[in-house]
Amino acid sequence: MVKVYEIDGIVPVIDPSSFVHPDAILIGDAIVGPNCYVGPGAVMRGDFGRLVLETGVNIQDNCILHGFPGTDTMVRENGHIGHGAVLHGCQIGPNTLVGMNSVVNDDAVIGAECIVAAMTFVRAGEKFPPRSLIAGIPAKILRPVSDDEIEWKSSGTRDYQTLTKRSLESLKPATPLSAPEADRPRMPSATSQPFHVGRR
């Protein structure tokens, strides 16, 4: 059972086509749109501002979404938020990737089809145009994002959208085995790989 909490009469919203892991926490004004994935340990703490995931978004393990009172933290359609990222009162554009352990601060705007590298720190109020490769502490634009990079990002997002369906259909509590089976199966193949694979 997903950990969902009402506060001040405001109850989180989860579209029935989305998967929210039972170990995620949603509080107050948190809205999960269609075909989204919210991973274990993720927290959408809508006790001050509003948090919105549009269609096809994935919020991976241990991400935190929060914002100041009266603000909206928004992840637009097909946004892809990597493990451990923090989004606070910011706007993430359509089909944009925010890499693992990045922080995007208040009133920052990341344009459509951007890639924010892992462990990037985006300062409050910063605005980045579409198709920017963004990295660093503080964040800066390194160069435009290539068509190959956008296709790589989109492939990974499609895998998470498939994972949404897989999780809705088959994820359940289990008792661990004491040893692996002799013919232990592998997980179903996916389309995405690390970007560097095959590109060296």
Taking residues 101-128, what's their average pLDDT? 98
Above 60 in pLDDT, residue 199?
no
CB 140 within 8 A of CB 122: no
Residues in the chain: 200
User: Strand 132-135 to strand 140-144: parallel, antiparallel, or no bridges (unpaired)?
Assistant: antiparallel
Third-level CATH fold of 3-144: UDP N-Acetylglucosamine Acyltransferase; domain 1 (2.160.10)
Paired strand residues for 140? 135
CA distances from 196 to 2, 36, 79, 131, 193 (A): 36, 27, 21, 19, 8
Q: How does pLDDT run across 9-44, given as a tens digit for each residue? A: 999 999 999 999 999 999 999 999 999 999 999 999
Residue 37: DSSP 8-state:
E
pTM score of the predicted model: 0.94
pLDDT given at position 62 = 98
Above 60 in pLDDT, residue 198?
no
- Between 1-5, 65-69, 176-180, 188-192, the lowest mean confidence (pLDDT) is in 188-192
Distance, in Å, from the CA atom of 97 to the CA atom of 185, rounded to the nearest integer, reads: 31
